[in-house]
Amino acid sequence: MFSLNTCQPLTCDLNLQDCVFSFNKKNIEVSAYPKPIKIFNKTTIKIKNFPHYSNLKIKIYSLNSYIGDIIPKFNIVNGDILINFIGRSITDDSRFRVEFLNNNAPTGFFFDFDVTMQKNFQTGNTH
């Protein structure tokens, strides 16, 4: 059975903080809200400093419970990419990948984040 506890740790956890990833000699800033990210709730991801691609497409999918790709609509506002989506999963714990494509080919930039449906997510809260 899949467990987030047995996965390689994320280089940066979007549930806890904003993250910076290096891509093509640029620092790409990624933030997600609300935190923590939850399945079946609307999530907004903001990407700053991403290079311009003429035919950009974004694909979100679960790495451990693949049930199809989420191809979210996104807006570019003042150069920032804003993605709104609702995640879906068939397991309590999921690791998702957000992958950036140009002309349906990978650009090489992606990042992962974890979600859990368990009541006790990192904080010990029961709500």
The C-alpha atoms of residue 40 and residue 26 are separated, in whole angstroms, by 32
pLDDT band at 119 (very low <50, low <70, confident <90, very high): very low
3-state secondary structure of 5: helix
**Model confidence, pTM:** 0.85
Q: Contact 19/12 with Cβ under 8 angstroms?
A: yes
CATH fold label, 12-116 = Immunoglobulin-like (2.60.40)
Domain extents in the chain:
12-116
Q: Longest C-alpha distance within the chain, in Å?
A: 45
> 54-104 pLDDT, tens per residue?
999 999 998 888 788 999 999 999 999 999 988 777 777 889 999 999 999
Give, in order, the Cα–Cα distances in Å from 65 to each of 50, 88, 96, 119. 28, 10, 9, 20
The reply to whether omega before 72 is within 30° of 0 (cis) is no
Give, in order, the Cα–Cα distances in Å from 51 to each of 61, 73, 80, 105. 22, 18, 10, 15
Residue among 96, 98, 100 nearest 88 (CA): 96
> 2-56 pLDDT, tens per residue?
455 557 889 999 999 999 999 999 999 999 999 988 888 899 999 999 999 999 9
Given 3-state DSSP classes, what are the helix, strand and coil percentages for the chain, each rounded to the nearest 5?
0, 50, 50
